[in-house]
Amino acid sequence: MPTYTPPIDDIRFVLEDVIGVAQLAALPGYEEAGVDTILAVLEEGGRLAAEVLQPINQAGDAEGCHYENGVVTTPKGFRAAYDAYCAAGWPAMTAAAEFGGQGLPHLTRVVLDEMMCAANLSFSMYPLLAHGVITVLERWGTDELRQRFLPKLIDGSWGGTMCLTEPHAGTDLGIIRTKAVPSDAGSYLITGTKIFISAGEHDLTDNIIHLVLAKLPDAPPGTKGISLFIIPKRVVGENSASGESNGVRCGSIEHKMGIKGNATCVMNFDNAQGWLVGEPHKGMRAMFTMMNGARIGVGVQGLGLAEVAYQNAVAYTQDRLQGRALSGAKNPQGEADPIIVHPDVRRMLMSMRAYTEGTRALAAYVGLQVDVELLHPDPERRQEASDLLALLTPILKAFLTDVAFEVTNTAMQCYGGHGYIREFGMEQFVRDSRIAQIYEGTNGVQAMDLLGRKVPEENGRLVKRFMAIMSADLAAAAGDATIADIAKPVADAAQLLQKVTMGVMSRAQANPDEIGAAAVDYLRIFGLVATGWMWVRMAKAAEAQRASNAERADAKAATARFYVTRLLPQVHALAMQVDAGAKPVMALDPARW
């Protein structure tokens, strides 16, 4: 059975020394969110993950969710775990104090989500969806809607979902058919079917609040005709009491490859009463508040799975005796050496370690920008954070989940045949991680968002801003003899990224297919470079602490050097693939396939 230990020491290092979490206490509203407070909260969250959520993960995967006549039952232990989660106040952590929230920085939610997803991804998705509904209502809901729905969502009494796509639509939301008709009560009656709805029905709460995309009778075609509605599973009466059914029913649950402890539902709305969120026909703008948060959340799901897979692979390779080291026996008293002595096993472990620690720093950096964009008193600083978030969100979602699938597969490989056996837990991590590359927009869609929308935005303003910040860090590191050999390969890769960017943008002016053909490889280059930048920052921070923590300084330096010599060089092959252009991709006539 796999185990999980929250990496609190590394989390502390990243927050304190790499991204400077102390700056949050200077933001209005976060005055009491000092470093010690944040870390104390996260240590408690780690205990919840390790002691409450992880022990029910493997059993929950084996049992799965049960569906009968519209009712969904979660696996044994999930309800008790959810009650413990709510009793400790975790749903309220980052919500507004006005409605019962604790008002902690959003960065803390990013870190907590990593630990919860590492411990039990299926469970973590239930509160994650509710948190998304909270953020949408806080920003876009009327005072009446906030008063009606937020308190129960914030204390965890109610769950939440986002209902976007339909059987025929997929990612093309402009062709959805769900209809909303105005009613005499000032609300709307919504009818339609939504699919792939995570946490759409379950027994953890007595009500579930759905955010649903639908079209009004006078809606223009395409995404410009989409409106957003909030629909409770049960009618909400006085004092927010849950009443009779509101025309919302789960038609079925999917039988999935992974995340089996979370119900993925077909949801039917039959004249369900709902209320408009935001303006008519502008629902996508409001829903993107939840979708962008969910994209960051899915990236963090990947990070959590990578961490737990890595931890277990390390433990296994330290204990498993097989063969002798090429350089001579390391365990001469035993019949064989632990397999961690073998170079290929060490290569796998170092790859997992370098990706996981590097992307943890990148996720924390992005999480920090959420709070800066929201609360920084300087408009220019808020705009900078907004630009960084817009650029890095699709990268975080796609790169971290691609890496997670690689890391979980590599961890399974470390186990050999035992990795393929259920009791060791590795095959579950592989299955669970695979969905993250698909939902909340496939990684190909994320790549198209990055290269087709974010990179060219306002003549490249977002990319130029990011490059300026990163280049300043790399230039400073180049003058530090202790880490110059780490900084130079990253600086070279950053220059290559700039060259590739200009090349594909130039070719795309003549042939729009260039964007689609290059997008996935381009995003991978960007993710590798951004993670390399984080490794430069980590190596620098650890080196500054060498006198007090030589062990960490040595470990970070060794891992950073592995990253820049063994993983970062992928950018050169990827750049060649991008520069090959669209012709090799599009040359074969579809009629000949």
The residues facing 242 across adjacent strands are 236
Of 17, 4, 11, 19, nearest to 39 by C-alpha is 11
CA dist 352 and 406 (Å) reads 8
Do 84 and 153 touch, CB atoms closer than 8 A?
no
How many of the other CB atoms lie within 10 Å of CB of 558?
14
User: 583: exposed, middle or buried (C-beta count within 10 Å: 0-12, 13-18, 19+)?
Assistant: exposed
Which residues contact residue 278 at a Cβ distance below 8 angstroms, ignoring those fewer than 6 apart?
140, 227, 228, 285, 286
Give the separation between CA 554 and CA 562, rounded to whole angstroms. Answer: 12
Q: What angle do CA 506, 510, 516 make, to 5 degrees?
A: 75
CA 471 to chain centre: 26
* Angle, CA 438 vertex, CA 434 and CA 441 arms, to 5°: 155
DSSP state of 219: P
Task: Identify any residues that bridge with 234 across adjacent strands, giving them in sequence order.
Answer: 245
The residue with tokens 């390390």 is 314
Q: H helices within 320-378, ranges in order?
A: 343-375
Contacts of 538 (CB under 8 A, 6+ apart): 13, 14, 18, 357, 358, 361, 556, 560
On whether the CB atoms of residues 439 and 298 are closer than 8 A, the answer is yes
d(CA 79, CA 76): 7
Alpha-carbon torsion, ordered 137, 140, 145, 147, to 10 deg: 60
Q: Which residue has the tokens 């709305």?
A: 269
Gap between the Cα atoms of 537 and 531, Å rounded: 10
| Range list of H helices, 415-512 | 426-435, 443-449, 461-478, 484-508
The answer to whether 338 and 313 are in contact (CB under 8 A) is no
Q: 122 to each of 56, 118, 304, 357, how far by Cα in Å?
A: 10, 10, 12, 23
Active-site residue set: 440
Of 75, 117, 586, the closest CA to residue 356 belongs to: 117
Q: Is 261 helix (H, G, I), strand (E, B) or coil?
A: coil
